[in-house]
Structures are given as structure tokens and as C-alpha cells.
Amino acid sequence: MPLDALLALCVFAVVSSITPGPSNFMLLASGANFGFRRTLPQLFGISAGFGSVLLGVGLGLGALLAAVPALHLALKVAAAAWLLHLAWRLGTARSMAGGSATLARPMTFCEAAAFQWVNPKAWIAAGSTMAVYTVAEAPIHSVLVIAVVFATAILPSLAAWAGFGVALREVLSNSARLRWFNITMGLLLAASLWPMLR
């Protein structure tokens, strides 16, 4: 892949990953509730999981979903159910770092990675990325490069969302404010379903 295309891919990765979406809302909430260090496994899980979605789409899973509408519908239903479950879990959390049984810990690496497979924003970004940046002359090689570069380039954006949550910890030390913050994050997470349902 030419250097200018790699640079464009990095810019696209940063810009697309800094915009609000389900994973970013979860990182913001995790940073606020658990701190940056405890959010790191979730952050790296998102990166690895999104890289795997890119690989899947680049190696033909997107075409399979387009060819089998029932499979695509099943994925959408699973995504909606999981996002609503997470939104409920987040919205009903009532205390920082584990006083509540509802949100007693941040997502693990594996949970965050698996979440990318039902994350509507991840699928939209993966489809767009592979359509624009895959090189026809070397499709497999370019898919691998895109997945690794994109998954790495999004780390600063993900860290910014978690860091912003950490910056809010002082403000959210008041239990009423934290409760409303978590409710708001839960509602935003649920609203992030809108692009998938249209």
C-alpha cells in the first residue's frame, strides 16, 4: 500500500473513531466509573475486536451478509439486543467502581472485542474502510495491512474518550450527578442503534 494511502487511512481511522458511538460511550462511562487503568483492557479489546471485524469484512463476511438477508437480520437483532442490555446495565448503575451490583466492573478485553461484532458503528466503518482502501492488485495483503493500521491508529481516539471520563470523576463524585451521567450514557448508547434501524 502506498505511503499516501496509509497516511490517508490513519487520518480516516482517527477521525472516524473519535466520533461518538457505542464503544466510545462505553469508554467514557468506564473511565468515569472505574478510572483509566481499569478501562485499559476494554480499550485494547475494542481495538483488537474492530481489527477482527475489518478482517472479516475484508475477507468476504460483508458480502456473505449481503447475500444472506436472514443472517444479516439475525446479526442486527443480536446487536440491538446486546446494545439495549448494555444501555440498561449502564443506565441503572449507581456508584463509582463497584458499589452497585449492576455495573460492578468495566468490560473485559474479550467482552469489548466481542462487542465489536454487534456494534453497528464498527460494521459501517469496516464496510466503508474496506471499500475505499483495499488494493485490488493485492486484496489479502491490503486487508491485513488495513486491519492492523486501523486498529492501531484508533488507540489515541479511544484513549481520549476514556480520559475524558476520568476527567469527569471529580464532578461525578456526587452520587446524584453520577446517577444522571450513567442514565444519560445509557440513553446515548441506546440511541446509537438509530443508524442500524433505519
Quick one: three-class SS letters along the chain? CCHHHHHHHHHHHHHHHHCCCHHHHHHHHHHHHHCHHHHHHHHHHHHHHHHHHHHHHHCCHHHHHHHCHHHHHHHHHHHHHHHHHHHHHHHCCCCHHHCCCCCCCCCCHHHHHHHHHHCHHHHHHHHHHHHHHCCCCCHHHHHHHHHHHHHHHCHHHHHHHHHHHHHCCCHHHCHHHHHHHHHHHHHHHHHCCHHHHC
Write out the residue range of the structural domain in which residue 180 sits: 3-197
pLDDT of residue 41: 97
Q: State the chain's mean pLDDT as an integer.
A: 83
Determine the average pLDDT of the residues in 156-178. Answer: 88
pLDDT of residue 109: 96
Determine the average pLDDT of the residues in 117-145. Answer: 83
pLDDT of residue 75: 72
The letter for the amino acid at 185 is M
pLDDT of residue 65: 67
Q: pLDDT digit string (tens) for 9-19?
A: 888 888 888 88
pLDDT of residue 101: 41
Nearest to 155 by CA among 38, 58, 40, 5: 40
Q: What percent of the chain has pLDDT over 90?
A: 27
Determine the average pLDDT of the residues in 167-184. Answer: 82
pLDDT of residue 196: 59
Number of domains present in the structure of the chain: 1
Helix 22-34 × helix 120-133 angle, to 10°: 130
Query: Between residues 67 and 52, which one has the greater pLDDT?
Result: 52
